[in-house]
Structure 1
Amino acid sequence: MTTFRNLILASCCLALVATGESTAQSSKKKAKAAREAAAAPVQQQTPAPSAHDRQMSEALFLDGMKYFMLEDYQQALQLFQKAYTITPNNAALNYKIGETYLQLKESASAMPFAQAAVKLEKKNAYYYLLLAQLHSEQKQYDAAAQAFNDLLQNVPNSDEYLFNLADLYLAQSQYDNALRTYDRIEKQFGDMEQLHVNRQQIYLRQKKVDKAIAEGELLLKTNPTEINYYLAQAELYNAIQRTDEAIATLNKALKVEPNNPFAHLMLSDLSRQKGDIATSNKEVKLAFANPQLDIDTKVRILVDFIRQLPNPQIESVALELVDLTIQNHPSEAKAYAVAGDLQTIVGKKEAARDNYIKAVALDNSHFKIWQQIVLLDAELEQPEALVKHAEQALELFPNQAVFWFYSGTGHLITKNFEKAVKSLEYGKRLSGSEPALVTQFNMQLGDGYNSLKEYKKSDAAYEEVLAVDANNEHVLNNYSYFLSLRNEKLDRAKEMSERLVKLHPNNPTYLDTYAWVLYKSGNYTEARKYLEQAVAISDDATLVEHYGDVLYKLGKHEEAVSQWQKAKLKGEASAFIDRKIKDKKLYE
């Protein structure tokens, strides 16, 4: 009997494991074969079970169903298998064993039981459905389709499963079979909207655009108020460059739903394709004015505009669109963020910065937006705002060195030098893996420590920059100038400032620095030459005052006073300027 055979196979497997003899080398393959043989139903001619046997089998089956419903599939399977040893030719029992194996994700073990169920009872739709599912899971799609076809042939009133068969064909890209199945469905159930939709999708995949359009026209004819069909049809016309028909279809859509934002967007695109920029701009603004157009769609469109900037032809409409986006989505952080992005590119930096601030007020989790805020604070030369926003960002991102840099820079500009170097040193420690950022910190630390008169630290920071960037403009200029003011290392100061002037011969600030180093070295004639070049380019008060100082050293006292007077008119001269003019004497 089957039960006895199963027990023998199981015993053999256990024996092989227990003994560990040489035959165990192939135990995995044999054990697998044994399990499959034990699991597989063996249909044979057996005497009909007695009433007692049937009752016992039914009791085991019912107990198994309890465990099945509790999702204890292993226990359920054991009980079903015990029942199976008594009534192996019970179709429902074979089906349930197959279904349990399926729940245990053992499709291969389930297959023979599903096949047996179908063989034993040909008019139960559920048995065919299980068989089709098992074939599909094992990628046996032709066999799955055959299972559905057998179902449709053998089970009365089963035409509803034509939809399952069509879906199977569609999933496997068997488009012609799917289309034939749709014809069968239509013959059985009559004209159906979904059939036209499905056919249209198949025709599109087959690149049969004319047929897809024909299906779309049928959909519009039978569903004249469904706006999505108009939009889809317009897209099809546009895809084959029948732009005028696409526009006509969209105009029909707007008669049905005048404020539909997607119709307006498509009209905008089509009008732009035809070169009608005025209509295009009008339509896109109508779409953006509609709060039903979701924020994500608006952001995607604005990003497309941003990619085209700077472009004077679209700048004004782009700015209007960001205003409309904010107006219709005042609680969306991304509305303000994308406005800031666009305004930054077109040079509206203060408006951009303010919109970024509104964005982080709604959602403060975006590092890049905070970074944009402090960058714009720096570009707008608003150091107090720079310090404030950098420190707000540090509360959220304390390990981001860039915010320590801007905090330190802001404090440096506002002459809060102690806080500046503290922030800069901390940020520098965080930047060890980013040499370029370390250089930026050292540049600022050189300035900060110089202002604190901690000259050794200042010089060390500057030298660290020059070790990796010998032509760094900021350091060459400031380091050489500060050395000249201290009357220290004047040869080093001269070497740096001379190199800077050679690199940038028309920069008045650098010419002034070099002239001042020469002045401090007592080379007044050379200093005059370079200062004359500088004042010819710029009338900066410091340059003019330095020029007067050099003239005084060269004995040209009246000319010197004249230059000092010019410097004073600028209002940015040194603290000695009034005494110089009054006493007609050089003070340093």
Structure 2
Amino acid sequence: MPLRLLFLLIIMLAGLSCAKRPTTNASNASKSASSPVLSEIQRSQVQFYFFEGTAAKSIGQWDKAEQGFMRALSIDPTNATCAYEAARMALQSGDARRALEHSRKAVALNPLNPWFLKLLAQLEQSNALNQEAIKTLKYLTTLGEEHALEAWENMGMIHLQLQEYPKALQCYQEIEKIVGPQAEILEQKKTLYVLMNRKELAVKEMQRLIALYPDELSYKLSLVQMHSEWGQYAQALSLIEEALRGNGPGNLPKLYLAASELHYALRQPEDAEKRFIDALETKGLDSEELLQGMFRMLERQGENQASREAWLRRALKAYPQVSLLYALLGESLMKQDRGQDAAEQYRMALSLPSVSVEYVIWQQYQSCLLNLQLMDSLEAVSRRAIDLYPSQGANYFFLGISLQQNRKEDEAATTLRSGLTYLADQPELEAQFHIMLGDIEHRRANHAESDRCYGKALRLQPDNSLVLNNFAYYLSLRRENLDSALAMSLRATLEEPSNASYQDTYAWVLFQMGRYEQALAPIQKALQNSPTDNATLLEHYGDILFRLNRKEEAKTQWLKASESDPNNAALQDRVLHGLPLQP
């Protein structure tokens, strides 16, 4: 015999013939006046399917649970509890529309059950039936104060979402009638009055809030902010001054800072600076408040670095534990060409407990050391930075530069290749890695690899004139891919037409291609743009003239080059013997 049928017979034999349906925690099961009379077998079947649905619900089998409740409902179509439970299970399954159908059935069968009504309102909202949800919630407010409070809250939220601010306000007024004036209600009413552009009434709500909680500074500051946003700076400042007279020392720094901002808004810079100094000297600001105020103060100093420095030193005297103040001071000193002083500020910032130091300070310090060409220090600092922040690609960049400059090219190449792993979405920095690797491989005469590196850099930065020029020049020295070299060199000269080095490269590529007449104009332009007599440019000019059979003029240029580079044996040989025959 099937287990399910056996269970049904056991229930029947046990005499489970009660006249009432089972109840849930949500509500008592009820029947309408016209409820059909069920046979004893039918009542047992309802019991069985209801228990089956409840068991499935307890283990999270929502679809099976819904089926159980719906089977019970098909036998007893007046069982509101079964319809309610089926709605809950459909909602758990993610089908809000089907859940709404079941929920409507439950409420139709028992319109006085508040739990049924709450679920119906929720489902009406889920199905974007906001006006129907409002009607349901409004009806729910008639079923007792306990349910009315939640109903008014939900109605207020719906009206707010629909931007029906006056109706939302009515809801919060009803809530206040039930629970009295509470902070959340008054703040919400204030917000609604602001949205309705009823400024006076918004202020009154905040004044009520302040009267209820006179020791809560945040409400006073909120009212100050309201006046400030409306351009009513004098009223805002009056509130701050009043608060300064009535608050303890713990709140003074925040109030002084707010007063400083308001004095600036009122074009009273001397009073503003005095209040800002008061805020610093009372030493009660947290780091975020301090830095926000400091950023605004520095912004007002413009590019007056001496003034910025003075304010930062004053702040550091009061807050020596805030690492970003040292970094800001270091930045100002760098702009004053005081790199050594800047480096000291960065060093002091990094001497603070690591939890208070932001990574950007490490990056600024490394940049400062690079600017000062302190490669030993840069190498040491970059190694520490990698230990602390191993996934920051910039650390590998700075270490790679320092190793390269310190003639540790093998380690530099390894470091740069390791750093490439951490450069997601940083194309400019990635291009610099490939450029440095290209330079290293070029010096190693590993030309195939250097060409690949420069090619990768150009794919990331196709208009990088330095890479275009250098890559073209190295190809010309090897007399390889000269057409490509010429195209890159031309692009570089178009990017920077007055760059003497780029004009020289363009001339030299043409020279290597045997196009001597065309090479003459760019080499002459290079010499015109060069601020001093450059031995390489003069040598190249002489070579071009020699190939044009203007040998005396060539000799003159080589002699001038020798004066700039007297130890160049190749130049001396050119003066004596000219260029070898063309290959």
TM-score range, shorter chain: 0.5 to 0.7
What is the total number of aligned residue pairs between the two structures? 481
Instruction: Give the secondary-structure state (helix, strand or coil) at the position aligned to 1:281.
Output: helix
Aligned AA for 2:237? I
After TM superposition, give the deviation of residue 127 of structure 1 in Å: 1.0
Q: Select 2:256's aligned residue among 251, 261, 264.
A: 264
After TM superposition, give the deviation of residue 430 of structure 1 in Å: 4.2
Q: Is the 8 A contact 1:122 1:154 kept in 2?
A: no
- Pairing 1:499–2:525 present: yes
Distance 1:477 1:408 in 2: 28
Distance 2:153 2:41 in 1: 44
Q: Select 2:207's aligned residue among 217, 222, 239.
A: 217
After TM superposition, give the deviation of residue 423 of structure 1 in Å: 5.9
After TM superposition, give the deviation of residue 283 of structure 1 in Å: 3.8
Q: How does 1:164-175 map to 2 (within 5 A)?
A: 164-175=154-165
Q: How does 1:402-481 map to 2 (within 5 A)?
A: 407=400, 411=404, 421-422=439-440, 425=450, 428=454, 430-435=456-461, 439-441=465-467, 456=478, 466-470=489-493, 471=497, 473=499, 475=501
Structure 1 pair 442–194 and aligned structure 2 pair: CA distance change class (3 A): closer
After TM superposition, give the deviation of residue 122 of structure 1 in Å: 3.1
Distance 2:305 2:464 in 1: 39
Aligned AA for 1:218? R
Aligned AA for 2:257? L
Q: Select 2:57's aligned residue among 58, 65, 68.
A: 68
Distance 1:155 1:259 in 2: 46
Q: How does 1:8-23 map to 2 (within 5 A)?
A: none
Distance 2:385 2:518 in 1: 40
Distance 2:109 2:276 in 1: 65
Q: Spell out, residue by residue over 1:491-521, the C-alpha distance to the aligned partner (whole angstroms, 9 max, x if none).
A: 99986663234235xx3x3478777888998
Task: Let me know the Cα RMSD of the aligned residues.
Answer: 5.2
When normalised by structure 1's length, the TM-score is: 0.64
Q: How does 1:353-392 map to 2 (within 5 A)?
A: 362=354, 375-385=367-377
Q: Spell out, residue by residue over 1:28-56, the C-alpha distance to the aligned partner (whole angstroms, 9 max, x if none).
A: xxxxxxxxxxxxxxx99662223543343
After TM superposition, give the deviation of residue 354 of structure 1 in Å: 6.0
Q: Is the 8 A contact 1:387 1:406 kept in 2?
A: yes
Q: How does 1:169-188 map to 2 (within 5 A)?
A: 169-188=159-178
Distance 1:403 1:472 in 2: 34
Distance 1:58 1:109 in 2: 23
Instruction: Give the secondary-structure state (helix, strand or coil) at the position aligned to 1:433.
Output: helix
Aligned AA for 2:263? S
Instruction: Give the secondary-structure state (helix, strand or coil) at the position aligned to 1:235.
Output: helix
Q: Select 2:180's aligned residue among 167, 172, 190.
A: 190
Instruction: Give the secondary-structure state (helix, strand or coil) at the position aligned to 2:373.
Output: coil
Provide the residue aligned with 1:138 in structure 2.
127
Q: Is the 8 A contact 2:500 2:526 kept in 1?
A: no
Aligned AA for 2:266? K
Q: Is the 8 A contact 1:305 1:314 kept in 2?
A: no
Provide the residue aligned with 2:73 in structure 1.
84
Instruction: Give the secondary-structure state (helix, strand or coil) at the position aligned to 1:198.
Output: helix
Instruction: Give the secondary-structure state (helix, strand or coil) at the position aligned to 1:108.
Output: helix
After TM superposition, give the deviation of residue 68 of structure 1 in Å: 1.6
Q: Which runs of 5+ in 1 are unaligned?
A: 1-42, 483-488, 532-542, 551-572, 577-588
Structure 1 pair 306–48 and aligned structure 2 pair: CA distance change class (3 A): farther
Aligned AA for 2:264? R
- Pairing 1:97–2:86 present: yes
- Pairing 1:251–2:269 present: no
After TM superposition, give the deviation of residue 105 of structure 1 in Å: 1.9
Instruction: Give the secondary-structure state (helix, strand or coil) at the position aligned to 1:225.
Output: coil
Q: Spell out, residue by residue over 1:341-360, the C-alpha distance to the aligned partner (whole angstroms, 9 max, x if none).
A: 55545555445556667669
Distance 2:156 2:122 in 1: 14
Q: Is the 8 A contact 2:312 2:328 kept in 1?
A: no
Q: Is the 8 A contact 2:469 2:502 kept in 1?
A: no
Distance 2:481 2:62 in 1: 77
After TM superposition, give the deviation of residue 152 of structure 1 in Å: 1.5
After TM superposition, give the deviation of residue 244 of structure 1 in Å: 1.9
Aligned AA for 2:91? L
After TM superposition, give the deviation of residue 236 of structure 1 in Å: 1.4
- Pairing 1:281–2:273 present: yes
Structure 1 pair 422–324 and aligned structure 2 pair: CA distance change class (3 A): same
Q: How does 1:218-233 map to 2 (within 5 A)?
A: 218-233=208-223
Q: Is the 8 A contact 1:404 1:423 kept in 2?
A: no
When normalised by structure 2's length, the TM-score is: 0.65
Q: Spell out, residue by residue over 1:195-248, the C-alpha distance to the aligned partner (whole angstroms, 9 max, x if none).
A: 321110101111211211111112112211111111011011112222122112
After TM superposition, give the deviation of residue 143 of structure 1 in Å: 1.0
Provide the residue aligned with 1:126 in structure 2.
115
Q: Spell out, residue by residue over 1:376-425, the C-alpha distance to the aligned partner (whole angstroms, 9 max, x if none).
A: 3443233444566678889988997996699468745x677897842664
Distance 2:357 2:313 in 1: 27
Q: Spell out, residue by residue over 1:127-172, the C-alpha distance to the aligned partner (whole angstroms, 9 max, x if none).
A: 1100110111111111111111111124575332333333332333
Structure 1 pair 346–95 and aligned structure 2 pair: CA distance change class (3 A): farther
After TM superposition, give the deviation of residue 275 of structure 1 in Å: 2.7
Provide the residue aligned with 1:18 in structure 2.
none
Distance 1:243 1:108 in 2: 52
Q: Is the 8 A contact 1:299 1:338 kept in 2?
A: no
Structure 1 pair 114–269 and aligned structure 2 pair: CA distance change class (3 A): same
Q: Spell out, residue by residue over 1:235-274, the C-alpha distance to the aligned partner (whole angstroms, 9 max, x if none).
A: 1111222212211212333432434354333222112122
Q: Is the 8 A contact 1:125 1:151 kept in 2?
A: yes
Provide the residue aligned with 1:27 in structure 2.
none
Distance 1:496 1:249 in 2: 72
Q: Select 1:315's aligned residue among 288, 294, 308.
A: 308
Q: Spell out, residue by residue over 1:272-316, the C-alpha distance to the aligned partner (whole angstroms, 9 max, x if none).
A: 122333443344455567887554555555555676642358523
Instruction: Give the secondary-structure state (helix, strand or coil) at the position aligned to 2:37.
Output: coil
Distance 1:202 1:351 in 2: 54
Q: How does 1:469-548 map to 2 (within 5 A)?
A: 469-470=492-493, 471=497, 473=499, 475=501, 498-503=524-529, 507=531, 509-510=532-533
Provide the residue aligned with 1:36 in structure 2.
none
Distance 2:386 2:516 in 1: 40
Distance 1:475 1:389 in 2: 34
Instruction: Indicate the percent of aligned positions where both proteins have the same amino acid.
Output: 17
Q: Is the 8 A contact 2:261 2:272 kept in 1?
A: yes
Distance 2:462 2:281 in 1: 45
Q: Is the 8 A contact 2:308 2:332 kept in 1?
A: no
Structure 1 pair 468–458 and aligned structure 2 pair: CA distance change class (3 A): same
Instruction: Give the secondary-structure state (helix, strand or coil) at the position aligned to 1:327.
Output: coil
Distance 1:347 1:390 in 2: 23
Q: Which runs of 5+ in 2 are unaligned?
A: 1-31, 413-435, 443-449, 509-514, 544-550, 569-583
Distance 1:517 1:211 in 2: 83
Q: Is the 8 A contact 1:515 1:526 kept in 2?
A: no
Q: Spell out, residue by residue over 1:455-513, the C-alpha distance to the aligned partner (whole angstroms, 9 max, x if none).
A: 75999999786443234736369979x9xxxxxx9999986663234235xx3x34787
Q: Select 1:327's aligned residue among 320, 332, 336.
A: 320
Q: Is the 8 A contact 1:310 1:345 kept in 2?
A: no
Q: Is the 8 A contact 1:405 1:427 kept in 2?
A: no
